[in-house]
A and B are shown apart, each in its own frame.
Chain A
């Protein structure tokens, strides 16, 4: 049982057979969770002329509420310039056996600033900043550009770091203790050059990490010359989870340029996962067979002609996620403008089930109604309800890359959209009544990035 005090503003769950945070199994998460009522969403001003810090927004996603689809609270960061990007919980279902732990603190890194914020969500509707780790403290470990946050089963927190103190390679991993102090480096320096996302499967003693590029390469924007010069990643690293070293590196080749989000199936027994290669617009299935890990390209998104473009437009697969029951894979084509849903009952042979068009270069720019505000940008960070029936997404990728591909997003801000999913039939339908407009933010139009649920979600919970 969680030890968050039950108040009217606190969402508490009582979980059979667990003492700590989260749920005993993915199936328990589906069965025991209530529908999400609040979403935490990253809001950004970095890189614009708006003179205000980035913020954590609390979005009301309870259709019964009077403030449905509104941002009901904003926690401003203490500094400007962070580029809040990905974030995570101090504890997830991987710690559900540890009774003194609670899923209560959000660890919110600044991608550009290298500053790490810890936010206390004891009051779910009114979170407060608890502590801040300043960039200089990270630089002391020769690390910068914090990205993915995963809690690890003993209450500690692991963060992928994309650069060294100069924003160059190699990156690595930083470990925080349960008092949110830097414990040190998790990996022996130099195991990898590039870093990005990672996911671990403790029962199999394995972690898989992916590669973006050096911060000095991707921070300023996307330059094709850097691709030609081999400055972007195309490899996966398979780690010995207990030892913290790389056991195997898989080169994805030309079809695997810029492998970003890594998702294992949720079942702790599974030795299957997926990674999206953003630039080559492919999805790779990775799996263990005969004591080795393999990766196969299982989905190709074809580039499309566009009258305003000299070259065909790639889909640019950015975020992907897997439903809690391990049945469906969802991903967004940020440039094309479609969100796709694949049946992965046979993990090696995903089958396209459905897709929705909203924004992007080929989607409807007014998908929720002709009088509604224009959607600038394409489907980007995704989050799915634990029961698999509601899919949400935002439209911003990274401030400097947004400015190149969707310059109007700086003036209009992002939106958060939603589709109703029918898992039985394998279909999705855009919810035309749901649009959260980050263009209306008090200091000016803001970008919106990753989404998390207070009570666990499909892109962070891991089971032991």
Chain B
């Protein structure tokens, strides 16, 4: 089984390194490592688990329905259904989901 090194970076500066198998989602690996990343539906519908990929390659194991195309192009990924295809750096934490959508009217 191919395994990749994933660096998780929180907004407050905390970083963690974990190994994630290619057939395992990033969220599953963080849960196995007791790293409390946010999540909701676990099926790619809600974006609660959104992270932002800054380095590397992730693939979604099913369509990421909660992401718009432009958000995917900006590097956002749904960690509940994202598997690594290389070593990665991912920005994580609840703020990522909030950043993904512009607040209207303001």
Nearest neighbor of B102 in chain A, beta-carbon distance:
A223
> What's the Cα separation between A376 and B46 when bound, in Å?
24
B93 contacts chain A at the CB level, 8 A cutoff: yes
Contact residues, A47-66 vs B (CB, 8 A): 47-51
Interface size of A by CB at 8 A reads 40
Q: Are B94 and A223 in contact (CB under 8 A)?
A: no
Q: Are A113 and B100 in contact (CB under 8 A)?
A: no
Q: Are B101 and A83 in contact (CB under 8 A)?
A: no
- A contact patch SS: loop
A112 contacts chain B at the CB level, 8 A cutoff: yes
Contact residues, B81-106 vs A (CB, 8 A): 93-94, 97-98, 100-106
- How close is B9's CB to chain A, nearest CB, in angstroms? 13
Q: Are B97 and A405 in contact (CB under 8 A)?
A: no
A188 contacts chain B at the CB level, 8 A cutoff: no
Q: Are B105 and A313 in contact (CB under 8 A)?
A: yes
Inside 8 A of A410's CB, which chain B residues have their CB?
94
Q: What string of 1s and 0s marks CB contacts (under 8 Å) between B33-67 and chain A?
A: 00010111111111110100000000000000110
> What's the Cα separation between A311 and B106 when bound, in Å?
7
> What's the Cα separation between A49 and B37 when bound, in Å?
7
Q: Are B45 and A167 in contact (CB under 8 A)?
A: yes
Contact residues, A62-91 vs B (CB, 8 A): 80-83
Inside 8 A of A400's CB, which chain B residues have their CB?
47-48, 97-98, 101
With A47-B38, A112-B40 known as contacts, the answer to whether A166 contacts B100 (CB < 8 A) is no
Nearest neighbor of B38 in chain A, beta-carbon distance:
A47
> What's the Cα separation between A400 and B41 when bound, in Å?
13
Inside 8 A of B66's CB, which chain A residues have their CB?
167, 216, 219-220
Q: Are A309 and B45 in contact (CB under 8 A)?
A: no
- B contact patch SS: loop
Inside 8 A of A219's CB, which chain B residues have their CB?
40-41, 45-48, 66
- Contact check: which of A47, A166, A404, A405 meets B43 at CB < 8 Å? A166
- How close is B91's CB to chain A, nearest CB, in angstroms? 13
With A113-B41, A163-B45, A219-B40 known as contacts, the answer to whether A49 contacts B101 (CB < 8 A) is no
Q: B interface, how many residues as a size bin?
A: 20 to 34
Q: Are A216 and B40 in contact (CB under 8 A)?
A: no
- How close is A170's CB to chain B, nearest CB, in angstroms? 15
Q: Are B105 and A167 in contact (CB under 8 A)?
A: no
Q: Are A144 and B104 in contact (CB under 8 A)?
A: no
- Contact check: which of B10, B38, B45 meets A215 at CB < 8 Å? B45
> What's the Cα separation between A224 and B105 when bound, in Å?
9
Nearest neighbor of A403 in chain B, beta-carbon distance:
B98
| Interface-centre pick from A47, A163, A215 (highest chain B CB count, 10 A) | A47
Inside 8 A of A221's CB, which chain B residues have their CB?
47, 97-98, 100-101
> What's the Cα separation between A215 and B106 when bound, in Å?
24
Nearest neighbor of A402 in chain B, beta-carbon distance:
B98
With A46-B48, A112-B48, A309-B106 known as contacts, the answer to whether A220 contacts B36 (CB < 8 A) is no
In the complex, besides A51-B36, A166-B43, A167-B43, 18 extra interface pairs with C-beta distance below 8 angstroms are: A46-B48, A47-B38, A47-B48, A49-B10, A49-B94, A81-B40, A114-B41, A167-B41, A216-B65, A219-B45, A220-B47, A220-B97, A220-B101, A223-B104, A313-B105, A400-B48, A400-B98, A404-B101
- Can you list 24 A-B pairs, Cβ within 8 angstroms, ordered by A? A49-B36, A80-B39, A81-B41, A81-B42, A114-B41, A135-B42, A144-B41, A144-B43, A144-B45, A163-B45, A167-B45, A167-B65, A167-B66, A215-B45, A215-B46, A219-B46, A219-B66, A220-B50, A222-B101, A311-B104, A399-B48, A400-B48, A400-B101, A405-B103
Interface residues of A (CB under 8 A from B): 46-51, 80-83, 112-114, 135, 144, 163, 166-168, 215-216, 219-224, 308-313, 399-400, 403-405, 407, 410
